[in-house]
Amino acid sequence: MADAPHILEMRNITKRFPGVLALDDVSMRVRAGEIHAICGENGAGKSTLMKVLSGVYAYGTYEGDIVYRSEVQHFRDIRQSEAAGIVIIHQELALIPELSIVENIFLGNEPRRFGVINWAEAHRRAIDLLARVGLSDDPDTQVKNIGVGKQQLVEIAKALNKDVKLLILDEPTAALNENDSQHLLDLLRGLKGRGITSIMISHKLNEIEAIADSITIIRDGRTIETLDVTAGGVDEDRIIRGMVGRVLENRFPAHDGSSIGEVFFEVRDWTVQHPLTAERLVCKSENFTVRRGEVVGFAGLMGAGRTELAMSIFGRSYGTFLEGTIVMDGEEIRLPNVSAAIKHGIAYVSEDRKALGLNLLDDIKRSTVSAKLSKISTAGVVDDLEEHKVAEEYRRELRVKTPTVDEGVSKLSGGNQQKVVLAKWMFTDPELLILDEPTRGIDVGAKTEIYTIIRQLAERGVGIILISSELPELLGVSDRIYTIFEGAITAELPVAAADPETLMRGMTSNPHARKKEVA
C-alpha cells in the first residue's frame, strides 16, 4: 500500500465564508486502493474539505488545487465529480423516503430504452448492486420502511452504480448500531479488495483505528499531520493528541456520588402502544426511578424502545399511551403534552438535533430561548436585549464556537449545534433532563465538554436520564444503569457493578420473559 500511487492530492486548499476562514492552506494525499480517514474536532473543516473535493463547493469558490488521477480538476458541481468517479455520501442521507429502493438507486440516472425508463433493467441491476453490498431486501420496498443501516447500504449501492473510484463517507456509522456498523466496515474492506479507494470521516476512533490505512488530522481548518496506521504505533490516544493538541487524561469527569439525593421522579407500569401497529407495545409495564443529582443511564440496542420511552414520558410525544403513572416529588403528575412536561420541569434533548432539536432557520439566540420565551417576555413581547444577553451567556458557558449569537444554527458544526440544543433546555431550568444520544456524531473533545456539562448539572441537583448506544459513555458518566430489551426494562445495575458484558446480556434478552416460559 505504501508503494501505491496517489489517486488524490489536495494542495493548499483555502475556503472562506463570510467572517469565517473554514479551511486554511489544507493539503492531503490519498493513495489508490486505501481507506483514508479524516479526523478532527467539530468545526475543524473535515466536511467542508470533502464538499470542495466533490464539487458541492464549486471551482472558483476556493483557492488551491485538486489533483485527481494525475490531472488538475475544476469540478463545477457534483455531477462533474461523479462523472470522474468521485461519490460522496453525506451524514444526512440523500434518499427520498417515499420512493422505493430501486427508484432511489437510479434517481436521475435511470436506464432507458428508446427514451423510456427500462424498469426491468433497473430491477435486474438493482438486485445485483444490492447483492454486492449484502442487502437482500425487495428493490420495490419503500426506503422509509428499512432501517438506517440498510439505507446506508442503499447509498453505497447508488455509488457503485455510478462506477465509483473514490468513495467519500461522512460519519457513515454515526446513527448505526454495533452490528450495522461492523457490516458497513466489512463492506468497505471488501470494496478496498476491489480496488475502490475510500475516504471516511468519523468520530468513532476505535473504528478508525481498526479500518484505516492512513489518517489525516485537521485542526481549526489546518492540516496537522498524516499518520500511517499500517506502520504501527497509532492508537486512539495518539489520534486524540493530534485532534485536540493535547493529551486528554480523563475523558469522563470524576464523580463520587456525593451529589445524589432522594428519589424525586418515578415511573410506574408505563405502557405505550406503537403509533401505527396496535398490537405492538413499545413500552411494556416499565418501572424506574431517578434521584436528584443522579445520572441514570439507559442501555439498549437500536429498536429496543429507549427513545420511545423517553418521548412518551415527555408529554406523550410518541405512541399511544395505555397506562402508567408518573410520580414527581411524591405526587402523581399528568403530562398530556409537551407544554405540561416543560411546566413540570422536564426537558428532552432529542437524538435528532436537526429534525427535532432545532429550527434550522433560526439563529442561535432565538434557538437558545425558544423552549421558554416567557422567561424573557413582558406582556407577551420578547425582550430582544435580554434574549441576546442570555444567548451570549450560554455561548460562553458552553463554549459554542461562533463569531456571534446572531449566526444561523444551520451554519454550526454538529457539536456546536448540540451545545445550542443543551443551552435551549438548560434555559428552562429543568429538574429532570432527558438526554437522548447527546454525543452522537460529535468529536472526542466536544464529547468531553458535554460530559463535564452533564456532571455539573447533576452536582446542581438536576436528575438526568442518559440514553446512549456507546457503552463506555454510559459506564463513564452514569451512576446507575437500566437495560432495555424489546420495550421492557430487563436489569438495573449500579455503575460499580456494571461492565460491557453484563450490560449486553440485559440488552439482548429478557430474563423475566424466560422465567415465564419456564413456568
Q: Are 23 and 221 within 8 A, CB to CB?
A: yes
Q: Could you tell me if 287 and 397 lie in one domain?
A: no
- Residue 329 reports pLDDT greater than 90: yes
Whole-number Å distance between alpha carbons of 187 and 21: 36
In this structure, is residue 198 part of a structural domain? yes
Give the C-alpha distances (Å, rounded to integers) separating 135 from 128, 130, 132, 185, 186: 10, 5, 8, 14, 13
**Of 103, 98, 148, nearest in space to 123 by CA:** 103
Q: How is 336-397 classified by DSSP, letter by letter?
A: -SHHHHHHTTEEEE-S-IIIII--TTSBHHHHHHGGGGGGGEETTEE-HHHHHHHHHHHHHH
- The number of beta carbons lying within 10 Å of the beta carbon of residue 162 is 15
Q: Could you tell me if 145 and 275 lie in one domain?
A: no
pLDDT of residue 276: 80
pLDDT of residue 114: 86
Beta bridge mates, 100: 142
- Residue 247 reports pLDDT greater than 70: no
**Rounded average pLDDT over 25-31:** 96
Q: Could you tell me if 463 and 494 lie in one domain?
A: yes
**Rounded average pLDDT over 146-168:** 88
Q: Could you tell me if 24 and 96 lie in one domain?
A: yes
Q: Could you tell me if 12 and 33 lie in one domain?
A: yes
Give the CATH number for residue 490.
Answer: 3.40.50.300
In this structure, is residue 252 part of a structural domain? no
- Residue 507 reports pLDDT greater than 90: no
pLDDT of residue 416: 86
Picking from 213, 244, 275, the residue at the C-terminal end of a domain is: 244
Q: Could you tell me if 70 and 134 lie in one domain?
A: yes
Which residue segment(s) compose the domain that 90 sits in? 6-244
Q: Could you tell me if 418 and 441 lie in one domain?
A: no
List the grid coordinates of 184: 458497513
How many helices (H) and strands (E) are present in the chain, helices listed first?
17, 24
Q: Could you tell me if 228 and 315 lie in one domain?
A: no
Q: Could you tell me if 297 and 445 lie in one domain?
A: yes
Beta bridge mates, 348: 434
Structural domains of the chain, count: 3
The helix/strand/coil state of 513 is helix
pLDDT of residue 320: 94
**Rounded average pLDDT over 271-287:** 91
pLDDT tens-digit map of 466-484: 999 888 899 999 999 999 9
Q: CA-CA-CA-CA torsion for 151, 154, 159, 165, nearest 10 degrees?
A: 90
Q: Which residue has the cell 499518520?
A: 227
In this structure, is residue 376 part of a structural domain? yes
List the grid coordinates of 360: 434550522
Angle at 409 between CA 403 and CA 410, to 5 degrees: 115
pLDDT tens-digit map of 58-85: 999 999 999 999 999 999 999 999 999 9
Q: Could you tell me if 310 and 404 lie in one domain?
A: no
* pLDDT-based confidence at residue 269 (cuts at 50, 70, 90): very high
Residue 120 burial by Cβ neighbours in a 10 Å radius (0-12, 13-18, 19+):
exposed
In this structure, is residue 77 part of a structural domain? yes
- Residue 295 reports pLDDT greater than 90: yes
Q: Could you tell me if 280 and 266 lie in one domain?
A: yes
Q: How is 150-175 classified by DSSP, letter by letter?
A: HHHHHHHHHHHHTT-SEEEEESTTTT
The helix/strand/coil state of 217 is strand
Exposure string over 334-359, b if 16+ CB within 10 A, otherwise e? ebeebeebbebbbbbbbbebbeebbe
